[in-house]
Structure 1
């Protein structure tokens, strides 16, 4: 790698306030706010709106999708004849 062209990577805390979830990882993001981590060290903090703790896809909270009803509506609307074509 060439020197001087890459951003500096440092430990940063990403905090999801809605879920009360914090994640310490490395990032190149620049922020002015700091937070004290569990080990007593102060790290820069970034507040995010959605994280793996609050997003329905990751939390397992899902909506029931009526796939049988969709298939029946599709077959009713575009149903096949006995020859296999419309």
Structure 2
């Protein structure tokens, strides 16, 4: 590895999946101003994420149904009124 290209300021950070409220503690350099009290009683910075391995369809095996026909109809109806 090249020297002096990797950050030195790794710290423990909690990543919280907002879709299913699961959290995990890991090391990161990502900046955040929010904190959370973890299971061990210590306070750590928290980074809120939209999707993780606990909620992503690839890892959970649950597929998400997307109603594309409904979206297209809504789009056409919305803009048909304006013209």
Post-superposition Cα deviations, 1:45-64, rounded to whole Å, max 9, x if no partner, equal 0000010111000111147x
Higher Rg of the two aligned structures: 1
Residue 31 (1) aligns with residue 35 (2): no
CA distance in 2, matches of 1:13, 1:50: 14
Deviating runs (4+, > 4 A) in structure 1? none
**TM-score normalised by the chain length of structure 2:** 0.66
**TM-score normalised by the chain length of structure 1:** 0.64
CA distance in 2, matches of 1:18, 1:49: 6
Higher helix share: 2
- Structure 1 gap segments, 5+ residues each: 64-86
Q: How many residues are paired up?
A: 63
Post-superposition offset of 1:17: 1.6
RMSD after superposition = 2.1
